[in-house]
């Protein structure tokens, strides 16, 4: 499990290796809608764009990207939309590898 450090900026970009692939994650806070969105590039190709960030849900689970799972975890429970400053106080962005998923599934 990897915790991806999210700062306070309304637009952030993270590049890393997940499951042997180069991945770029873009988080953007849209003030008009009061919500965060996530974009994901794998090997410099956009594979996910404008996905609404919701706590407690695997944002990659509906796809067969072979990148593991990506969760926004809140200390006070799943299911709500993260607010503008919530990453400072109560949220974490967490990646779980395919091997870790398999280990708990068996």
- Domain extent listing, the chain: 2-105
Distances (CA, A) of 32 to 54, 60, 84: 17, 25, 11
Compute the distance between CA of residue 65 and CA of residue 33 in angstroms, rounded to an integer. Answer: 28
pTM: 0.86
Q: List the pLDDT tens digit at each of the 106 positions of the chain.
A: 999 988 889 999 999 999 999 999 999 999 999 899 999 999 999 999 999 998 888 999 999 999 999 999 887 665 567 778 888 777 889 999 999 988 988 7
Listed in sequence order, the residues at least 6 apart from 21 whose beta carbon sits closer than 8 Å to its beta carbon are 42, 43, 66, 67
SS3 59: coil
CB-based contact 40:47 (threshold 8 Å): yes
């Amino acid at each position: 499990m990897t915790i991806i450090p999210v700062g306070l900026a309304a637009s952030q970009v993270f590049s890393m290796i997940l499951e042997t692939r180069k991945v770029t994650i873009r988080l953007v806070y849209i003030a008009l809608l009061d919500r965060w969105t996530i974009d994901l590039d794998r090997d410099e190709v956009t594979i996910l764009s404008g996905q609404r960030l919701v706590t407690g849900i695997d944002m990659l689970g509906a796809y067969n990207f072979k990148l593991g799972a990506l969760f926004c975890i809140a200390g006070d429970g799943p299911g709500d939309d993260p607010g503008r400053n919530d990453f400072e106080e109560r949220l974490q962005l967490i990646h779980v590898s395919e091997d870790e998923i398999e280990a708990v599934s068996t």
